[in-house]
């Protein structure tokens, strides 16, 4: 009997436990139902009630953790996901979500470990490979990040988000063509993927496809009208192509959509400053003066305005009020702009050592690391081999192309080319094409279509050369429809391309500008150029001096061997005797004097955009304060004399 009674009690206990489990399941299911329906307040009440009662169900902790994420309670969410994992150690999805929480809590190494654990438990977990790739990208493990994203795509071929983020990683690895393909694949898989259109636009800018980039940004905005970042990018591209009014409207639209978007304000301020529209800059600074999050951007551009107004002490006081914390946490563009502005201010007040240190910091741009300095030096030497190989051939072209009204403005960056460009474009019979990739396109055709290296361009046949001439003028037609004017193709480093210029355009005129070598090199070091193979050499005095020496060696070689039709323009003589100097150049170009060249500052102010760092200088009256400026920094040239002294003598600066 005793045994039977015990069995009955045991059976009743099982029934009771079963009823309790069923009840518990019903209540938990109800909580899950509220959660799924978006009734978070009711779901929260149930979850909290279960936890107080001591319920231990991994699903309960996991779902409550997920709910807490949506409420922004990340610390609590982390706790409950860890509880879920404690109850179910093989819960791969919980490790995935825990990793996402840890990213937002800035626990990056723990997040990486959590994603790796999810993959260990579930090797074919595409989302875990995707998230691991993202965290590896954040912490700078780019090659591993690429492999993780590619694994996610292998497991889930229609994973558009993985293609998007893979594209972002490929950009950082400087694999731009692959990045382009990755973004295009994301769009193919998800045609309404606005972020993919915007990111593809970013790539196309770097590839020089500006118009297509503009179209993509507009498509991103069409798909997502409140896409503030796309408006910012569109504003940048419109700025680059000279559509300044539309660029301004685009930046203002980004601000309207996202009033705390400091990058949009910054780009708007910088647009006004770079285009010398200082009244508009002042208006914008006044309009947004009371926005607390803009405190440091406002100080930065007020300092710049004071500097432009020659109130250097005021500029120094303003820029010194900027928060070091803001500077530390700013993006590269803001940091470089800050250090550049501060450097010029300290230079003007005579703090040359501090100014030099600031100029060094203004050159600290990770984008330069993508480029090998020697690549451009090798490029120079490739062209020189056309002369040293003694295989010079020139054709007398009998085609319909007239190149006698074509001129090239060359020299070295910061040697006065932008000033001379602005003066000459003030003449009614001269049109300047400023720093467009026309000859670069021709070079690419030679290398890719003709399978010819740049050290052997004289081997190109006459008929093929005619085709290249025609292509150049077709490209030129995209920027001008003028046929009766002198067309001046201005690109300082076309000096390196003079063999190609002479080969294709034997009747073209060359204007070679030069300035004191030490001043030229200093001015290059003081500017923030857009990173590319050539500009990667201008980040220090020594590397700038090495490149200067190489370019000038090439100039002398070409001058002595190519029978160039050229005139030299010495910057210091232009400053000293403007009229006489410009008259000689106009006589060389075979056009009459035009008094409008004396009003070049008005021309500069009317220009939509000046695509060089000289934009703020060419609107100023001629000044000689930039002459022998290098002497303020003489002690920093100890490693440069071997490259520059010969050119001081050669150009008669002794």
Q: Which string of b and e fits 164-179 if b means at least 16 CB within 10 Å?
A: bbbbbbbbeeebbebb
CA angle 263, 264, 268 (to 5 degrees): 115
Which of 84-90's residues contact partners 24+ apart within 8 Å by CB, and which partners?
A: 84/58, 84/59, 85/58, 87/56, 87/57, 87/58, 87/61, 88/58, 90/121
Q: What is the pLDDT of residue 16?
A: 45
Q: Map residue 453 onto helix, strand or coil.
A: coil
pLDDT interval class at 29 (50, 70, 90): low
Q: Is a pLDDT exceeding 50 seen at residue 618?
A: no
Sheet holding 406-410, edge to edge: 430-434, 486-490, 406-410, 509-514, 566-570
Average pLDDT of 193-210? 88
Cα torsion through 300, 304, 305, 311, rounded to 10: 120
Q: Is a pLDDT exceeding 90 seen at residue 241?
A: no
Q: What is the pLDDT of residue 120?
A: 96
Q: What is the pLDDT of residue 381?
A: 96
Q: Is a pLDDT exceeding 70 seen at residue 43?
A: no
Q: What is the pLDDT of residue 76?
A: 87
Q: Is a pLDDT exceeding 60 seen at residue 259?
A: yes
Q: What is the pLDDT of residue 613?
A: 47
Of 66-75, 98-107, 262-271, 284-293, the poorest mean pLDDT is in: 66-75
Do 501 and 439 meet the contact criterion of CB atoms below 8 Å apart? Answer: yes
Percent of the chain with pLDDT over 70: 88
Query: How do strand 509-514 and strand 406-410 relate by DSSP bridges?
Result: parallel
Of 624, 625, 618, which is closest to residue 418 (Cα–Cα)? 618
Quote the pTM value: 0.80
- 54 versus 135: the higher-pLDDT residue is 135
Which tens digit of pLDDT belongs to each residue from 406-465?
A: 999 999 999 999 889 989 988 999 999 988 889 999 999 999 999 999 999 999 999 999
Q: What is the pLDDT of residue 402?
A: 84
CA dist 207 and 204 (Å) reads 5
Q: What is the pLDDT of residue 1?
A: 34
Token representation of residue 483 = 């046929």
Q: What is the pLDDT of residue 331?
A: 92
Of 15-19, 64-68, 296-300, 586-590, the poorest mean pLDDT is in: 15-19
The secondary structure of the chain in percent helix, strand, coil, rounded to multiples of 5, reads 70, 5, 25
Which tens digit of pLDDT belongs to each residue from 62-89?
A: 877 777 887 888 898 898 889 889 989 9
pLDDT interval class at 600 (50, 70, 90): confident
Q: What is the pLDDT of residue 562?
A: 93
Query: How do strand 566-570 and strand 406-410 relate by DSSP bridges?
Result: unpaired
Token representation of residue 211 = 């118009």
**Average pLDDT along the chain:** 88
Which tens digit of pLDDT belongs to each residue from 493-544?
A: 999 999 999 999 999 999 999 999 999 999 999 998 888 889 999 999 999 9
Token representation of residue 556 = 């002398």
Could you give the count of Cα atoms lying within 13 Å of 475 in the half-sphere of its Cβ? Answer: 16
Q: What is the pLDDT of residue 614?
A: 45
Token representation of residue 45 = 């009440």
Average pLDDT of 560-581? 93
CA dist 573 and 357 (Å) reads 31
């Amino acid at each position: 009997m005793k045994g039977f009674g015990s069995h009955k009690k045991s059976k009743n206990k099982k029934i009771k436990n079963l009823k309790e489990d069923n009840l518990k399941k019903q209540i938990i299911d109800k909580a899950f139902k509220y959660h799924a329906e978006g009734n978070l307040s009711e779901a929260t009440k149930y979850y909290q009630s279960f936890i107080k009662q001591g319920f231990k169900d991994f699903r309960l902790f996991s779902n409550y953790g997920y709910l807490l994420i949506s409420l922004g309670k990340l610390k609590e969410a982390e706790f409950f996901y860890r509880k879920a994992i404690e109850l179910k150690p093989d819960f791969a999805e919980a490790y995935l979500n825990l990793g996402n929480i840890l990213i937002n809590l800035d626990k990056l190494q723990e997040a990486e470990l959590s994603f790796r654990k999810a993959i260990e438990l579930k090797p074919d977990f595409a989302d875990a490979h995707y998230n691991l790739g993202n965290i590896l990208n954040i912490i700078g493990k780019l090659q591993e990040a690429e492999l993780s994203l590619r694994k996610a795509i292998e497991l889930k071929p229609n994973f558009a988000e993985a293609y998007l983020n893979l594209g972002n990683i490929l950009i950082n690895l400087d694999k731009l063509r692959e990045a382009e393909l990755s973004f295009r694949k994301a769009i193919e898989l998800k045609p309404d993927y606005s972020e993919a259109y915007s990111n593809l636009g970013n790539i196309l800018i770097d590839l020089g496809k500006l118009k297509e980039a503009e179209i993509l940004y507009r498509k991103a905005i069409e798909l997502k009208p409140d896409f503030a970042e796309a408006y910012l990018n569109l504003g940048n591209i419109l700025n680059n192509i000279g559509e300044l009014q539309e660029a301004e409207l685009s930046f203002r639209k980004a601000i309207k959509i996202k009033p705390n978007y400091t990058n949009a304000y910054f780009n708007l301020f910088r647009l006004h400053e770079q285009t010398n529209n200082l009244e508009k800059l002042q208006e914008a600074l006044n309009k947004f003066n009371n926005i607390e999050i803009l405190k440091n951007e406002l100080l930065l551009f007020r300092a710049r305005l004071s500097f432009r107004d020659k109130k250097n002490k005021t500029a120094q006081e303003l820029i010194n009020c900027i928060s070091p914390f803001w500077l530390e946490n700013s993006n590269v563009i803001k940091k470089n702009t800050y250090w550049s502005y501060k450097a010029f201010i300290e230079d003007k007040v005579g703090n040359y050592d501090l100014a030099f240190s600031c100029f060094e910091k203004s050159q600290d741009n990770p984008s330069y690391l993508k480029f090998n300095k020697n690549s451009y030096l090798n490029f120079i030497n490739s062209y020189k081999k056309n002369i040293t190989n003694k295989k010079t051939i020139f054709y007398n072209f009998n085609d319909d192309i007239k190149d006698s009204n074509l001129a090239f403005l060359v020299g070295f960056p910061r040697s006065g080319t932008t000033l001379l460009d602005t003066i000459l474009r003030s003449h009614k019979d001269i049109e300047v094409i400023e720093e467009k990739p026309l000859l670069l396109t021709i070079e690419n055709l030679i290398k890719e279509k003709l399978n010819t290296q740049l050290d052997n361009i004289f081997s190109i046949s006459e008929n093929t050369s005619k085709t290249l001439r025609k292509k150049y003028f077709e490209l030129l037609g995209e920027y001008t429809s003028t046929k009766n004017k002198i067309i001046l193709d201005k690109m300082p480093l076309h000096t390196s391309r003079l063999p190609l210029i002479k080969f294709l355009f034997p009747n073209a005129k060359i204007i070679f500008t030069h300035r004191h070598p030490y001043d030229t090199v200093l001015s290059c070091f003081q500017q923030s150029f857009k990173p590319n193979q050539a500009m990667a050499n201008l980040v220090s005095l020594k590397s700038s001096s090495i490149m200067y020496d190489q370019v000038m060696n090439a100039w002398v070689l070409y001058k002595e061997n190519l029978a160039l039709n050229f005139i030299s323009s010495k910057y210091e003589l232009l400053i000293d005797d403007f009229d006489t100097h410009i008259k000689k150049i106009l006589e060389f170009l075979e056009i009459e004097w035009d008094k409008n060249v004396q009003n070049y500052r008005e021309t500069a102010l009317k220009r939509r955009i000046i695509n060089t760092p000289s934009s703020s200088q060419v609107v100023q009256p001629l000044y000689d304060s930039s002459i022998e400026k290098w002497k303020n920094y003489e002690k920093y040239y100890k490693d440069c004399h071997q490259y520059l002294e010969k050119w001081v003598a050669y150009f008669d600066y002794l």
